Structure 1
């Protein structure tokens, strides 16, 4: 049986960017990639604008909850994607780290959050192609 890659998305509050990225990855990759999220300083709840922006395109993240960043979450991941959490993410040799530079949707109007969402969709598509490439015919 083939290995299922695991991706951890990390941002400060685990309430916007990381949750939108996880929503896209789950929707676009299905069970081909395991998905986790965490925050260095998790918020009490998701950013309502992030939930709304994702719902507009048919992806429901409303049931997700911000979670704290742990060494275990990092250590169990093949790829860790950080989004503005600076150097708080633990480093483990053998894990692939990516830093995606994206604006923080906290406090932003829905128009700005939509732009962040659309950028994430492109990044997630590229990540899926890298982790689970389609076999050549």
Structure 2
């Protein structure tokens, strides 16, 4: 069966190389619209993926990494239609921190759909937060 959908991986410079771990940071899908599926972004900064021990800092860094991926697709946070949050040892304080940071990056007129999954551990022992996303824009 022939696939008429144009899709391509995009791994922006400034983020670590995910290929040794078997994934891409994002996939662009183009048809009458452009869809972008973005892998989980964590609080690690840059190519060496250095993590802070502070939850708020990890959330801010993950959102910055998400912004970098979106920018590589000529998109912004307002193009995101769905997010999934993974929070280690989730509690109300962490939820309040997340809500504060979400209000900082999304306009109040457009908030994406969301799923929050409390977890005991993420891919690295000191990861406290991860966010993945689906973004859409017209061609």
TM, length-normalised to structure 1: 0.29
Task: Please tell me whether Structure 1 or Structure 2 has the larger radius of gyration of its CA atoms.
Answer: 2
Q: Give 1 or 2: higher strand fraction.
A: 2
More helix by share: 1
TM-score after normalising by structure 2? 0.29
